[in-house]
Amino acid sequence: MKNNDVIEIKERTLKNVVDGAIRNEFEHISEDITDIKNIDKWDQLTSERDEMYHTLRNQLPKECQNLLDEFDSKVTEMTCLEAEYYFKKGVVAGFTNLSFLKEVENISYMDVFGGK
């Protein structure tokens, strides 16, 4: 096995580990929304959205109510995908440049990305 092959395997393994950790942590924190429920703005928006949804749903014929439910489901699914995407991007951005750790006492700094 060539040196480049070993490096590629290690990089792929590291990527899989990081992706798995991010996915696991995102799922873990997504299950507990207690903190966000304590944000007044979130409560207000949730209440307004629910009121609008129920008003609209009650005004629609049955066939359209089902369509509205499907639409709501798709919007929720897209929002979850966006949240996961931005969570991952934030984690990657946070770990991309850890050179600031050199400034903190008692923390070992290891540049896993090959910089100086």
**DSSP conformational letter for 101:** G
Residue 12: the pLDDT is 80
- pLDDT at residue 112 tops 60: no
The tokens of 11 are what?
A: 């990089």
Condensed to tens digits (0 to 9), the pLDDT of residues 44-98 reads 898 999 999 999 999 999 989 999 999 999 999 999 889 888 888 888 777 776 6
Rounded-to-integer distance, Cα 86 and Cα 101, Å:
24
Residue 116: the pLDDT is 44
Read off the pTM.
0.59
Residue 91: the pLDDT is 80
Taking CA atoms, 93 is separated from 27, 69, 96, 98, 104, in Å, by 19, 36, 5, 10, 19
Condensed to tens digits (0 to 9), the pLDDT of residues 14-50 reads 778 777 877 887 777 766 666 676 778 888 898 999 9
Condensed to tens digits (0 to 9), the pLDDT of residues 92-102 reads 777 776 666 66
